[in-house]
Chain A
């Protein structure tokens, strides 16, 4: 048995005002409850009596009309004429349409359609996007997508379709490319395209890397045009002059994630359509050993320094023999060889590895290195290499040499509670601000690491020492310098892309100017390093909780000036000693 119905419920039930559920419950209850059913019948009876009394006695007793009713038409005629601001316009529209402008369905449909077209046209208008904005977004997204931890390798699989401009049918092939640190490997049928990447020195990038795409656009020497269609933004640049074999570049970018989906490169002798098939971050142990050997040559193969060859090729005529039996050995050459191996392993960037040049040997001290790195070093330099001694265990602290090991990792910084109000308003929420700070400091750390490496090369192998190196040694030194410079040309635009929105908002005009081409004097990279360290200090003071905290208003001009200075120093200028 359910609960009895209240008087209110009974009235609501009679009037049909109960909710559906309560109506059903009331029905069920009334079906089984005599008392409530009797109350219900009593209520209905009384309501009938009330209605009767009202209709038969109350309302008839109320006075009726005391004069004839005015006809409705007369009443309407007495209404004052309508005065509307839009009246004449409406009437004109009606005359033009031959009917009622708003009463007809076709007019409503026409107005709605027009609105949709206007809104749609506004929404997709390319004028809202500039090529610079698109590329900045693409670069920033690429920084995030390609951020890997130690021991991770990026694999990008692309489909390359090559069409002959003279009517030959298209051929397509698939290329797999891997990237770890500064080393990139392409494998597959895209050798012709790879050659063109090599010619422009962008072969160290993945085929569809943002930096590579930006480089291709710049190669045309023209301002790209932007168009947007169905979630795809297209950047197209047609080569300005006939000097280059490159005629046009067209990028397809997904506007929701700002990722390059594909690129079309039109050369005088063919068209390459490159589209992404797959982009994955893999662990080292998922990579085939032969590939790993190419990516990390020192990881698997020992240094294999042939003592005899070394003695012969690195013999320093100016250096006295260190022992009667041994030939005179140019230890600077040995140190360079070791440095080059470290560079190939990616171990020359901010890692606690020191080279100490003694009188008889080079001591590699890597006590603070990670276990994985120690393993690689042992494989590369262990096993009684001549003129090389490896120290991996904790013990006597080495005196250290000119290699500076700065603590420039971004991860240790406290990014959680930066108090700057303008920053907080700019990002909207703390998580976004923290994410931005992390990305900026990572890019900044990378710039610093390459500049420190360059500075060390300059200090360890000054011009007079370089002159005494063998041809092979000089070549390796130049390779390392060029690698770091290329890396800077990748990381610096990334850092700039990240900081540009802030600069444009808070100190407009800054860092917008193009760098003026100066020769890149790598031996004077100490001054560049000073600028980078100044930028690093400012960024850390702004973005992390530090004792020297600053605010955006004060730091923005410094950031802008330092960025411009760095951009100038590491620009597309020729390499100079």
Chain B
């Protein structure tokens, strides 16, 4: 068996390759949602998956591979913000593409749908205005991560992660019911 085959262990490379295909868009949008420019976010995303492969190949034991990916991505995002001094200075595209799709698939009344859509957009704006930590908590929780995984990504304790998540939800709920 050739040395190159050992250098790229097939099963491991395949597994991380599958993760890459499945989650690269999520990680990318997680980064761009935090204000990282798309090109940089794409580089960071690819680098994060490569790092995962190298770490696994070096024998590191990683409990939550997805959480580990987000943690690497979040760290790189923080590096970027420090370098660019552009904390929370993000401009989002305000796309309306989803509105028509939602209207077509729904059976509720137009007025009600319009009101819901309005609320959803307003809520999205509120998510944008959350602090970086709170926004990351919401994004990571909606990816299905448990509190300990979120805490691992953010590098804080589980209770802190729970506290940030609660604060973020309370703030967003205030906007919903205004």
Nearest A residue to B139, CB-CB = A54
Contact of A53 among B50, B127, B166 (CB under 8 A): B127
Q: Which of B106-123 contact A (CB under 8 A)?
A: 119-121, 123
- The secondary structure that dominates the B interface is helix
In the complex, the answer to whether A11 meets B142 with C-beta atoms within 8 Å is no
In the complex, the answer to whether A60 meets B95 with C-beta atoms within 8 Å is yes
> At the interface, yes or no: A17 with Cβ under 8 Å from chain B?
yes
- Stretch in contact with the other chain, from A70-78, A117-125, A433-441, A445-453: A70-78
Q: Which of B25-69 contact A (CB under 8 A)?
A: 25, 28-29, 32-33, 37-39, 41-42, 46, 49-50, 53-54, 57
> At the interface, yes or no: B153 with Cβ under 8 Å from chain A?
no
Contact of A17 among B20, B29, B147 (CB under 8 A): B147
Distance of A64 Cα from B146 Cα, bound (Å): 26
In the complex, the answer to whether B121 meets A72 with C-beta atoms within 8 Å is no
Nearest A residue to B177, CB-CB = A46
Distance of A61 Cα from B33 Cα, bound (Å): 8
Distance of A72 Cα from B46 Cα, bound (Å): 8
> At the interface, yes or no: B162 with Cβ under 8 Å from chain A?
yes
In the complex, the answer to whether A56 meets B120 with C-beta atoms within 8 Å is yes
> At the interface, yes or no: A15 with Cβ under 8 Å from chain B?
yes
Distance of A50 Cα from B102 Cα, bound (Å): 16
Distance of A539 Cα from B169 Cα, bound (Å): 78
Q: How far is the CB of A88 from chain B (nearest CB, A)?
A: 9
In the complex, the answer to whether A62 meets B162 with C-beta atoms within 8 Å is no
> At the interface, yes or no: A149 with Cβ under 8 Å from chain B?
no
> At the interface, yes or no: A69 with Cβ under 8 Å from chain B?
yes
> At the interface, yes or no: A12 with Cβ under 8 Å from chain B?
yes
Contact partners of B138 in chain A: CB under 8 A:
50, 54
In the complex, the answer to whether A76 meets B38 with C-beta atoms within 8 Å is no
> At the interface, yes or no: A421 with Cβ under 8 Å from chain B?
no
Nearest B residue to A57, CB-CB = B124
Q: Can you list, as one digit per residue, whether each of B1-39 has a CB less than 8 Å from chain A (1) or not (0)?
A: 101001110000100110011001100110011000111
In the complex, the answer to whether A65 meets B28 with C-beta atoms within 8 Å is yes
Contact partners of B87 in chain A: CB under 8 A:
none
Q: How far is the CB of B54 from chain A (nearest CB, A)?
A: 7
Contact partners of B57 in chain A: CB under 8 A:
82
Nearest A residue to B3, CB-CB = A91
In the complex, the answer to whether A72 meets B49 with C-beta atoms within 8 Å is yes
> At the interface, yes or no: A561 with Cβ under 8 Å from chain B?
no
Q: Knowing A50-B127, A58-B33, A59-B29 touch, does A76 contact B42 (C-beta < 8 A)?
A: no
Contact of B120 among A11, A53, A62, A63 (CB under 8 A): A53
18 additional A-B residue pairs with CB within 8 Å, beyond A11-B162, A46-B172, A82-B57: A15-B147, A17-B147, A43-B173, A46-B169, A50-B138, A53-B121, A54-B142, A56-B102, A56-B124, A57-B98, A58-B33, A59-B139, A60-B97, A64-B28, A64-B32, A70-B46, A76-B53, A94-B1
Q: Which residues of A contact B (CB under 8 A)?
A: 7-8, 11-12, 15, 17, 43, 46-47, 49-67, 69-70, 72-73, 75-76, 79, 81-82, 90-91, 94-95
